Copies of this chain bind each other. A is one copy, B any other.
Amino acid sequence: METIADFEIKYSQFLDPEGEPQETLPAFARDPEELRAMYRSMLLTRIFDAKAVNLQRTGKLGTYASCLGHEASHVGIGAAMRPEDCLAPSYREYGTMLWRGVGMHEILLYWGGDERGSDFAGPRHDFPFCVPIATQCLHAAGAAMAYKLRGEPRCAVSVNGDGGTSEGAFYEALNMAGAKQLPVVFMVINNKWAISVPLELQTASRTLAQKAVAAGIPGLQVDGNDVIAVRHWVERALERGRNGEGPTLIEALTYRLSDHTTADDASRYRKREEVEAARKLEPLIRLRRYMNAQGIWDDKQEEALTRECIAAVDKAVERYVNTARAPVTAMFDYLFAELPASLREQREQAIRLDGNGAGH
């Protein structure tokens, strides 16, 4: 027997949980402004997230999927992307979306049951939240195909979870992107859990990065709690894409510190100790420690930033709660470019019955 192919999967971390650099930091990470901007974004995300959970608990928001613990993975992706790149998120990547310009009130609108949340101000070409798991990987490949065909130096980035790597759509997207050498980056946010299903039950694969091998594309694992590692490798993957070198799969190792969504009770299926251990690795602490050590961040700044973030979140919440319900006609008016004749009567009926105990 001869060996005809071999592969290795690498892992990268720049800052360890203590905030100690493990390798020479990439250029952007030596610029204090850059670090502070990412830290700001992570903190804003966290404060926003906590507020959203709270809104749900108090009946002001529908089911909400918290991103607690994912801030570095999400912000790292956002910071690496250019505005003209395209994001195809799942339902949790607030850090990425906020960085890219989606409004917090828009995210709240979405989880508040209002489609206008997906008509966001952020990059108008980004895909909206995607709930059907891993289907967005194909959209990213399609967008990348469009860029490639038009010769535009842009990339698409899809994001899905560890559970999402079990869906056929995920592999089909990887394989297609490999076959066509598309400018796309597939991010897998491995937070160890798919609702109640732990990674060991999801797959026998030791890493999720190695799923790239099946498609003949590069795959790599990074510390998803290290925003520097995430940003650096996503930037490199995007460069590869723009240079016509094809797709990349990046697995970001992190942990879902929250319940799956506000409709979930994770204590039913996972041990508190596991969560506590994971909490020690969370992403904000380590970047703050590093910045503190570098003398580019102090408690006063932290306090000021926290206040600023809270104010921004409060403003967004106010805007959200003050948004009147959309008219019932909205159900009809965006179905097709023009309302088909056959729907006119139904539209009239909906107007007539609006609020009139119709569905109640």
Interface residues in chain A, defined as those with a beta carbon under 8 Å from any beta carbon in chain B: 1-12, 23, 165-172, 175-176, 178-179, 181, 201-207, 209-217, 221, 246
Residue of B nearest to A12 (CB): B1
Residues of B within 8 A of A212 (CB): 214
Do B7 and A214 touch across chains, with their CB atoms under 8 A apart? Answer: no
**With A1-B11, A171-B171, A175-B166 in contact, is A214–B204 under 8 Å at CB?**
no
6 pairs, CB–CB < 8 Å, chain A vs chain B? A1-B12, A5-B209, A6-B9, A175-B203, A178-B204, A179-B202
* Minimum Cβ distance to chain B for residue A2 (Å): 5
Inter-chain contacts of A216 with B (CB < 8 A): 203-206, 210
Q: How far is the CB of A198 from chain B (nearest CB, A)?
A: 11
Q: A168-B167, A171-B214 are in contact. Are A5 and B204 (CB under 8 A)?
A: no
Please give the distance in Å from A270's CB to the nearest CB on chain B: 18
Secondary structure at chain A's binding surface: helix, strand, loop or mixed? Answer: mixed
Please give the distance in Å from A22's CB to the nearest CB on chain B. Answer: 10
Known: A168-B171, A172-B168, A175-B203. A7 touches B4 (CB 8 A): no
B1 pairs with A9, CB closer than 8 A = no
Task: Decide yes or no: A179 and B201 within 8 Å by CB, A6-B8, A206-B5 being known contacts.
Answer: yes
Which of B1, B169, B203 touches A215 (beta carbons < 8 Å)? B203
- 5 shortest interchain CB distances as A-B pairs: A168-B168, A178-B204, A204-B216, A214-B214, A205-B216
Given that A179-B201, A203-B178 are contacting pairs, would A213 and B166 also be in contact in the complex, using a CB cutoff of 8 Å?
A: no
B10 touches A3 (CB 8 A): yes
Bound together, the chains give a CA A12 to CA B217 distance in angstroms of: 25
Question: A168-B172, A171-B214, A203-B216 are contacts. A6–B6 as well, Cβ < 8 Å?
Answer: yes
- Distance, CA A181 to CA B7, complexed state (A): 23
B-side contacts of A7, CB under 8 Å: 6-8, 210, 213
Q: Is the CB of B201 within 8 A of A4?
A: no
